[in-house]
Amino acid sequence: MQFLCQQTQLNIKKAADSILSGKVVGFPTETVYGLGANAFNEQAVRSIFKAKGRPNDNPLIVHVSSLNMFNSYFNQKLPRTYELLINEFWPGPLTILIKSPSQIPAETTANLNTVGVRIPYHPIARALIECSGVPLAAPSANSSGKPSTTTALHVYEDIFQRKEAREVMDYIIDGGRSDIGLESTVIDGITVDGKVRVLRPGGVTVEDLKRVVGDDNVVYEKMEIKTADFKPTTPGMKYKHYSPKARVLLLMNDSNTNKSDKIKKLKELIESLDTNDKIGMMTLEDSLMTNELMNINKSSNNLIPYFIGPSNNPSIVASNIFAGLHSLDKHQVEYILVEGVEERNEGLAIMNRLYKAAGNLENVILI
Ligand code: TXA
Ligand code: MG
């Protein structure tokens, strides 16, 4: 396996040749890194599933480099809402579901009759697709259930632990850190009477979608975030998604709790954890929690901070979420306490990922 670091035409060509020979390539996009293969090649698509250890009933997104390429492979009548959204957000972090044409194999769509398509804006992603001359099926470049990856090194450290990945991959293209840091927004505007249904909140916010197609045309069923009393014993995970090795505890702001009670609760929580364990803390840099963390840290050296950004800038926070989970896992922490954010703009996608990373009601704590 080789890192292709300098973005020379020669390197892009090497990676494109690898794609055309049926291999899988790790490549950067503006959202997260992807594991790309020729979307038309069933065997190559199977290799992606193997590399990730992904269940084959979870469909892949197909990436094209331009509207020209989109029109040549996916020529079909689109709803007006899609036309408006494509005009505004492509290239970019928006995936639209359309009818799957017959050349797209069932492996790519997991047997569905729709396929998700997007044009990334990352220049290396686009150059790779353009040079390959075929659409790339690409899920996020993480092993199944783990946090998505936002650097080439994350991809290497996670995916290359897997023999199955080493067998089907020759290259990871290093394009620096992904700007957005959370995956694309996935929308379905074809199966429900003209409305745009948000299946996964992501890089394009629900507010952005509403601004372009109107409030009434966007449907998003907000996840109901439930909380419970914390129990120190590790509960069995009902399902795993975006989960680092450490147990993620999501700290939700309780607007009814005053400052001193919040500090008390935080201290109690930290004290209830085993003092021999390292604890990662992903907090907003200007928050009460960070302030308190600094005080606690003076008396204990098992807390490892990772600042996720300022509370008034959710796009910075979004870009640090997966990076923070990876970084703290590398420190071999036992727990990662993450400060929740308001569910507005990028905050919606952030909380969607964090809630899943916590994975269990008992890991979501009101503070
Ligand atoms: O930003 C992104 O979207 C990244 C980069 C690499 O482009 N890709 C990505 O792919 O996040 P993946 O496979 O990790 O997530 C794709 C999501 C999955 O939740 C999948 O179930 C959903 O999109 N999806 C894909 N095709 C679908 C379809 N036809 N119907 C419903 N959901 C679909
Ligand atoms: Mg994924």
How far apart are the C-alpha atoms of 267 and 264, rounded to whole Å? 5
Question: What ipTM was assigned to the predicted interfaces of this complex?
Answer: 0.99
- Does residue 135 register a pLDDT over 50? yes
pLDDT at 127: 95
Q: Does the annotation list 156 as a binding residue?
A: no
pLDDT tier, 308 (very low <50, low <70, confident <90, very high otherwise): very high
Atom 6 of ligand 1, residue of closest alpha carbon: 34
pLDDT tier, 319 (very low <50, low <70, confident <90, very high otherwise): very high
pLDDT at 117: 98
- From the CB of 91, is ligand 1 less than 6 Å away? no
How far apart are the C-alpha atoms of 34 and 243, rounded to whole Å? 18
Nearest CA to 86 among 121, 123, 61? 121
pLDDT at 51: 98
Give the relative orientation of helices 314-330 and 152-159 as an angle to the nearest 10 degrees: 40
88-97, 166-175, 271-280: segment of lowest average pLDDT:
271-280
What's the gap in Å between 305 CA and the centre of ligand 1?
31
| 103-125 pLDDT tens trace | 999 999 999 999 999 999 999 99
- From the CB of 107, is ligand 1 less than 6 Å away? no
- From the CB of 184, is ligand 1 less than 6 Å away? yes
- From the CB of 140, is ligand 1 less than 6 Å away? yes
- For the chain, residues classed under CATH 3.90.870.10 are 6-220
Please give the share of the chain, as a percent, with pLDDT higher than 70.
Answer: 93
Q: Are 250 and 354 in contact (CB under 8 A)?
A: yes
CATH of 6-220, one of 3.90.870.10, 3.20.20.80, 3.40.50.1000, 3.40.50.300: 3.90.870.10
| Atom in ligand 1 nearest the alpha carbon of residue 54 | 13
pLDDT at 240: 67
Q: Does the annotation list 39 as a binding residue?
A: no
pLDDT at 236: 45
| Atom in ligand 1 nearest the alpha carbon of residue 186 | 23
| 222-236 pLDDT tens trace | 877 777 666 655 444
| Atom in ligand 1 nearest the alpha carbon of residue 31 | 1
What's the gap in Å between 150 CA and the centre of ligand 1?
16
- From the CB of 320, is ligand 1 less than 6 Å away? no
Query: Does 247-366 carry CATH code 3.40.50.11610?
Result: no
Q: Does the annotation list 140 as a binding residue?
A: yes
| 14-29 pLDDT tens trace | 999 999 999 999 999 9
N residues, the chain: 367
What's the gap in Å between 285 CA and the centre of ligand 1?
31
Please give the average per-residue pLDDT across 272-301, as a whole number.
82
- Does residue 166 register a pLDDT over 80? yes
- From the CB of 116, is ligand 1 less than 6 Å away? yes
pTM over 0.90: yes
How far apart are the C-alpha atoms of 37 and 48, rounded to whole Å? 7
How far apart are the C-alpha atoms of 211 and 352, rounded to whole Å? 21
- Does residue 320 register a pLDDT over 60? yes
| Atom in ligand 1 nearest the alpha carbon of residue 202 | 1
Nearest CA to 98 among 168, 20, 16, 191? 191
**What is the residue-averaged pLDDT of the chain?**
92
Give the Cβ contact number of residue 332 at 10 Å: 12
Please give the average per-residue pLDDT across 59-80, as a whole number.
97
pLDDT tier, 360 (very low <50, low <70, confident <90, very high otherwise): confident
pLDDT at 330: 94
Q: Are 108 and 115 in contact (CB under 8 A)?
A: yes
pLDDT at 248: 95
- For the chain, residues classed under CATH 3.40.50.11030 are 247-366
| Atom in ligand 1 nearest the alpha carbon of residue 138 | 6
pLDDT at 46: 98
Q: Does the annotation list 118 as a binding residue?
A: yes
Q: Does the annotation list 242 as a binding residue?
A: yes
How far apart are the C-alpha atoms of 353 and 203, rounded to whole Å? 12
SS3 of residue 51 by DSSP: helix
Q: Does the annotation list 111 as a binding residue?
A: no
Ligand nearest to the CA of 97: 1
- From the CB of 294, is ligand 1 less than 6 Å away? no
pLDDT tier, 298 (very low <50, low <70, confident <90, very high otherwise): low
Nearest CA to 126 among 70, 74, 185, 181? 70
